Structure 1
């Protein structure tokens, strides 16, 4: 059965947002009919933003939203494996899943932003070690969730060792919340996706690049006799939609971006233009979910406009 196409809201609160800001966006998204609310997992602003009033923790945020929303799927694009130990992270995500009644989705990446590690005292190993730790974390976290109640989980790896873990608590979703993996690595990333991913996400790339990476994931699945169709394909693009050119320009200016550049690299323009571009993405890459990166979190009308005039134009 073909999966229904879904639009999801994706936020970058490290650029400057409180929990209450995020709650307003999430509630607006839920009321407007979006499928999910996702957030980045970063502790330091990027670019010229002041970052005020400071970062919010991704999993604390999602736990709070779990109690203050009722339908939205909730998740991260992506949590960094460098930020947390795998055992406690498995506990946090399982608890948030319980708090939400089974609406959590778990995006995990290797970690890449060195400056935020330096700013908050987080170790930042070389790339090879980060990827080794990332791979082990995926194995441990999914293994903990999959361990039957009453049994224990053990892991003896290069970087982590677990002995006789009770592997509790369990998430509501069984055998686990959906696991999201993403990125452009041509060999190891597709191999990890084939082993662990329920969804593969490509952020801020062009359609040709996305299609090629999805094909690599498919080949990696075939090598281990997994059906590539089991992995949902998704992308993330910056959003800048307006009823007319003046509104598009105002929204682009509010996020410090050029309209021409946004039209080329994101989802920008009138609702009709954006419906057409989403159609191109679907035809050329096979995505069934699209994460709309909303950078001006005060502009709730933007979210409602897309729900009423873009989502309604998608078949």
Structure 2
């Protein structure tokens, strides 16, 4: 089971804070550091010091880490043109020595678009399908050849399809709860399917849909990695769990029902249930980015039992 750290910097974090978390992620033996791609805080509070851009952040971290993989859950398709995104991600992959993964979604948070003057089109999912075709098409075009795309929303003509990522195949992640279109896109384009904030039962149903979609697309269902993202609130005892839950403004019982919360033994048991349905990668959503002690506890007491 791969264990990864997933952050939500739009809630209020500087680059230096993210760097501290990423370095701890690497030093403690986690597999990867991922971040969301949002420009506006969700819920109460002032969101200070303000948002950080996902790919600028990852470019910095690419030069300041050496082992962990780096990526997004999920880059919003509404934020960037697909050709520009392909260039950005390929460059960051080069900067990292081939450690980047692209999670790409349609975009959904209308308020952040309004706040920063970003268009919020109605046909987001149809655009996402074209974006996936373009980004993966640009990267897979042989060097010296050109790439064209004549779509409903995007047109590319005679693109040199450069730069290329450092990896021969840069992993693409697709995720979500949709019962039809999401599995279809994942079955065609994804190297990993991520089910965010979902029960074991809902994850099992969605993994099944994705497996069927992959086979319908002419792929083996096992070609994809299946993963889950869940909020983390882990403590060595009940008092520590309660304290950490209070800091992030959540109820302990709710966290235990819907996330990875409680003692290390409780968390290991719950991860085991996800493993039984085929999940091979867990993203711990860390909401208190100043609490590096929790990362150490997860690494030693949870990761130690799963290794």
TM-score strictly above 0.5: yes
**Counterpart-to-counterpart distance in 1, 2:250 and 2:187:** 36
Tell me what 1:198 maps to. Answer: 191
For 2:293 and 2:149, how far apart are their aligned partners in 1? Answer: 49
User: By how many angstroms is 1:224 displaced?
Assistant: 2.1
What is aligned with 1:297? 289
**Is 1:134 matched up with 2:134?**
no
Report the equivalent of 1:245: 238
1:146 counterpart = 2:140:
yes
The alignment yields a C-alpha RMSD, in angstroms, of: 0.7
Question: What's the secondary structure of 1:191's corresponding residue?
Answer: helix
Number of the residue aligned with 1:52: 48
Deviations 1:95-140 (A, max 9, x none): 00000000000000000001001111111111xx111110000000
CA distance in 2, matches of 1:91, 1:224: 27
Instruction: Confirm or deny that 1:70 pairs with 2:63.
Output: no
Q: What SS does the aligned partner of 2:78 have?
A: coil
Alignment partner of 1:280: what SS? helix
Deviations 1:156-193 (A, max 9, x none): 0000000000000000001x310000001111111111
C-alpha displacement of 1:274: 0.7
Select which of 187, 201, 205 maps to 1:208: 201
Shift in Å at residue 214 of structure 1?
0.6
- Report the Cα distance in structure 1 between the residues aligned to 2:217 and 2:91, rounded to whole angstroms: 32
Match of 2:306 in 1: 314
Tell me the residue number matched to 1:155: 149
Q: TM-score, normalised by structure 2?
A: 0.99
Shift >6 Å, 4+ stretches: none
Q: CA separation in 2, counterparts of 1:225 and 1:65?
A: 37
Cα distance in 1 for partners of 2:273, 2:126 equals: 36
Output the CA distance in 2 between the equivalents of 1:115 and 1:21.
Answer: 25
Cα separation, 2, equivalents of 1:211 and 1:256: 29
> Are 1:271 and 2:264 an aligned pair?
yes
Spell out the pairing of 1:203-242 with structure 2 (5 A cutoff): 203-242=196-235
> Is the partner of 1:167 in helix, strand or coil?
coil
1:225 CA drift (Å): 2.0
Q: Aligned pair 1:187/2:180, yes or no? A: yes
Match among 98, 103, 118 for residue 114 of structure 2: 118
Give the aligned partner of residue 165 of structure 1. Answer: 159
Cα distance in 2 for partners of 1:196, 1:139 equals: 8
2 CA distance for matches of 1:73 and 1:269? 27
- TM-score w.r.t. the length of structure 1 is 0.97
Listed one character per residue, the Cα deviations across residues 197-244 of structure 1 (whole Å, up to 9, x for unaligned) are 000001101111111011001111121221010000000000000011
